[in-house]
Amino acid sequence: MKILVTGAAGFIGSHLCEFLANQKHEVIGLDAYTDFYSRKQKELNAAQVNIAGVPILEYDLKEETFKKALSTDYDFIFHLAGQPGLSDRVSFEEYARNNLLATVHLIDFAIENKNLKCFVNVSTSSVYGREATCTEEVAPEPASYYGVTKLAAEQFAMSQHRQGKLNACSLRLYSVYGPRERPEKLYTKLIDSILTSKEFPLYEGSENHSRSFTFVGDAVKGLASVIENAEKCIGEIINVGSDQEVKTGEGIKLIEELMGKKARFKWHSPIQGDQTQTKAIIGKAKKLLNYQPSTHLREGLQKQIDWYIQEFEKLSV
């Protein structure tokens, strides 16, 4: 299969590119290398993707110039590019351009691919709102700019399917962690804080929040499973995550145990729009994708710690 992956130099996208290449698919990556976090980390990710035989083209989906660089004979498009996470330094306009406008441009291109079997939109549990503990049939109530714009992008993709213009599905991922996790995310930032003896910023009440922490390898297998199950997935929205719920404080203690050192905390006011509870209800993913997450949190965190220690000097230069 010929497959296009956007956000290919990012955390999840880079792993997906490698996985698909190892499955002998022809994979092309796109990434804008935005300045949301260090370009150096993305370049390290991209180097590993290139070793797997996947080229990554540097284009911003907000501009439509990428269309001229691509052929229109893709079998699948996996759309992971976007403005991630919760940040008070990112305006709503930026979220809207990077998540919605970029998706509109990509879908316009996808429609030109007459043999496209499925456009796979990669969404997030943040569309559900402050609590994400429900099935896909529950009406979303996003509480953040991120959640609002990811929901809008998802619904634009699904609207094109409903109009008969595009075979599409959307997979909502839950709290993905593991090697190459972005530097502002919980576990990478915590590992770095302990390794460098820096204070770790912890937001009031967040230690009692619970999450379906999902190892990146399990998430990638769920995404890739669409290829073999495309006909069943078209028109569907599917939760993909771990069905094990863990409090953030428990995850922090596990990192401390694995690293043999306590973290020093600096307390901050709560983040607006942050989720208080997520628990992935994945019956639909099991049915349609034969999805079976298998990585326990301890195992996944050890892999992330090992990766960070190995890459520390490169990431900190």
What is the bridge-based pairing of β-strands 56-58 and 26-31?
A: parallel
Q: What is the pLDDT of residue 208?
A: 87
How does residue 273 score in pLDDT terms, banded at 50, 70 and 90?
low
In a domain, 185, yes or no: no
How does residue 300 score in pLDDT terms, banded at 50, 70 and 90?
very high
Q: Is the pLDDT of residue 272 over 70?
A: no
Q: Is 146 annotated as catalytic?
A: yes
Q: Is the pLDDT of residue 316 over 70?
A: no
In a domain, 224, yes or no: yes
The total of other beta-carbon atoms located within 10 Å of residue 91's CB is 12
What pTM value is reported for the model?
0.95
Domain with 44 in it: 2-177+213-242+275-296
Q: What percentage of the chain has pLDDT greater than the value 70?
A: 97
* Integer angstrom CA distances of residue 260 from 13, 42, 126, 179: 31, 29, 33, 19
| Segment among 10-19, 167-176, 193-202 with least mean pLDDT | 193-202
Q: What is the pLDDT of residue 314?
A: 75
Q: What percentage of the chain has pLDDT greater than the value 90?
A: 88
CA 143 to chain centre: 18
Q: What is the pLDDT of residue 38?
A: 86
Q: How many domains does the chain have?
A: 1
In a domain, 184, yes or no: no
Q: What is the pLDDT of residue 223?
A: 98
Cα–Cα distance for residue pair 74/116, rounded to 1 Å:
6
In a domain, 125, yes or no: yes
Q: What is the pLDDT of residue 174?
A: 97
**Residue 218's CATH number:** 3.40.50.720
Q: How does pLDDT run across 14-46, given as a tens digit for each residue?
A: 999 999 999 999 999 999 999 888 899 999 999
Q: Is the pLDDT of residue 151 over 70?
A: yes
| Segment among 160-169, 205-214, 236-245 with least mean pLDDT | 205-214
Q: Is the pLDDT of residue 304 over 80?
A: yes
Options 59, 128, 146, 291, the catalytic residue: 146
How does residue 183 score in pLDDT terms, banded at 50, 70 and 90?
very high
In a domain, 126, yes or no: yes
Q: What is the pLDDT of residue 123?
A: 98
Rounded mean pLDDT, 122-144: 95
What are the tokens at 176? Answer: 């993905």
Q: Is the pLDDT of residue 255 over 90?
A: yes
Cα–Cα distance for residue pair 13/30, rounded to 1 Å:
10
- Residue with the larger pLDDT of the pair 201 and 88: 201
